[in-house]
Amino acid sequence: MKTKIAILGSTGSIGKNLIEIVQKKKTFFKVDLLTAKTNYNTLIEQAEKLNVKNIILTDYNSFMLAKKKIKKKINIYNNFKSFNKIFKSKVDYSLCAISGLEGLLPLLNIIKYSKSIAIANKESIISGWNLISKDLKKFKTSFIPIDSEHFSIFFGIKDLNTNLIQKVYLTASGGPFLHLPLNKFKDISIKDALRHPNWIMGKKISIDSSTMMNKVFEVIEAKKIFNISYNKIKIIIHPKSYLHAIVKFKNGMIKLIAHDTTMKIPIANSLPAYNFTNEFSKDVDLEKLNNLKLNTPDLNKFPLIRIINNLPNNDTLFDTILVSLNDELVKMFLERKIKYRDISLLFLKLIKSKDLIKYKKISTYNISDIMNLDKYVRIKVRSLVV
């Protein structure tokens, strides 16, 4: 029997990687659902190639255009309320790869229809982990993180008690400005910031990588996913992006988890019912292993890392503020309304404001609270900065 799959966000880079894997292994998988926001051409092409019967397009104009274009018999829906029509029983595996907080509600809604769920959405985990974890338990759904760093930790500590962990090290490439002198940061352009040395990513995550905010988010994710304290998690620089995590155990043992710079490896290994053997990787790269060049990040270049020391240990609405504030500042940079250096400087300034810091103490929340606060923060930032 084929493994049944649903892909939320199939036209993004993570979704496309899974589509490529499934296309090579059609005998193992049956895709029941694909979704996108606006990219209806790619979505229809994916559905036709894989014989997918259900698609969701959440942008109404794209939905209407797709209805006119579809030739094969495909059920097309305009929102995620259609899950109850699409799923008559649980699918074996769902990938949640919708970016931003837009992905949180569909993620929560699909948990009850999934035996296993893989999440590649930092914002949802950071802002809504308490909601996600409750539903995972309620519907007995297993969870796998897809980010290369978190999948590496997941792989490294599988079947082990997290109390045995002494320290977790998350590696960061340092992005395009690792070796750029600090006095040159004032001249950084959008084109410069998007030029990641190792990964091909979307604009938002590329900017986050360059400021190291993505690594701050990954520390928060690791703390939540693996239930370990912030003082047990450390960021280290590894320019080649070959080593993804190091786990130091209390018994003196150390695990170094490495893989080639491709998201196909964590994605393929997260899939149930098929054993992928060396299909997406090369031989061990001894040159990279011999030249790891591990180091601590320069906090003058990457000041956002400092906020980790002041984060609350429990889940609060302050997590959402981190996501929304950074997201809006990155948007403003891409719109040429602020300079690159302003992303970090304004973030560190605004995060201390009375209007926002009070949310460190608000720990009881639901998805409406998260989405309303997200809107409030974005409006607040625009009014203060523009």
165 and 285 part of one domain: yes
Does 278 score more than 80 pLDDT?
no
pTM: 0.94
> Confidence band (pLDDT; 50, 70, 90) for 24?
confident
209 and 297 part of one domain: yes
Q: Which two tokens stand for residue 90?
A: 């649980």
156 and 296 part of one domain: yes
Instruction: For the chain, give the mean pLDDT.
Output: 93
The residue-averaged pLDDT of 307-336 equals: 95
What pLDDT does 198 receive? 75
> Confidence band (pLDDT; 50, 70, 90) for 277?
low
Q: Could you list the residue range(s) of the whole structural domain that residue 163 is in?
A: 147-262+276-309
153 and 136 part of one domain: no
322 and 214 part of one domain: no
203 and 54 part of one domain: no
103 and 210 part of one domain: no
**162-204 per-position pLDDT tens digit:** 889 999 999 999 999 999 999 999 999 999 999 887 766 778 8
50 and 88 part of one domain: yes
319 and 385 part of one domain: yes
The residue-averaged pLDDT of 210-215 equals: 95
Contact 328, 378 (CB under 8 A): yes
Domain boundary among 145, 163, 197: 145
- CA 371, distance to chain mean position in Å, is 18
Q: Give the β-pairing of 142-145 and 243-249.
A: unpaired
- Structural domain contains residue 269: no
The packing angle between helices 104-111 and 122-138, to 10°, is 20
The residue-averaged pLDDT of 71-90 equals: 93
**28-46 per-position pLDDT tens digit:** 999 999 999 999 999 999 9
- Structural domain contains residue 268: no
28 and 124 part of one domain: yes
- Structural domain contains residue 182: yes
What pLDDT does 279 receive? 76
Spatial neighbors of 320 by CB under 8 A, at least 6 apart, are: 101, 126, 127, 359, 370, 373, 374, 377
Cβ atoms within 10 Å of 332's Cβ, excluding its own = 19
59 and 167 part of one domain: no
| Number of domains within the chain | 3
What pLDDT does 385 receive? 84
- Structural domain contains residue 47: yes
Q: Indicate the Cα dihedral angle 280, 282, 284, 285, nearest 10°.
A: -120
> Confidence band (pLDDT; 50, 70, 90) for 72?
confident
Does 111 score more than 90 pLDDT?
yes
284 and 216 part of one domain: yes
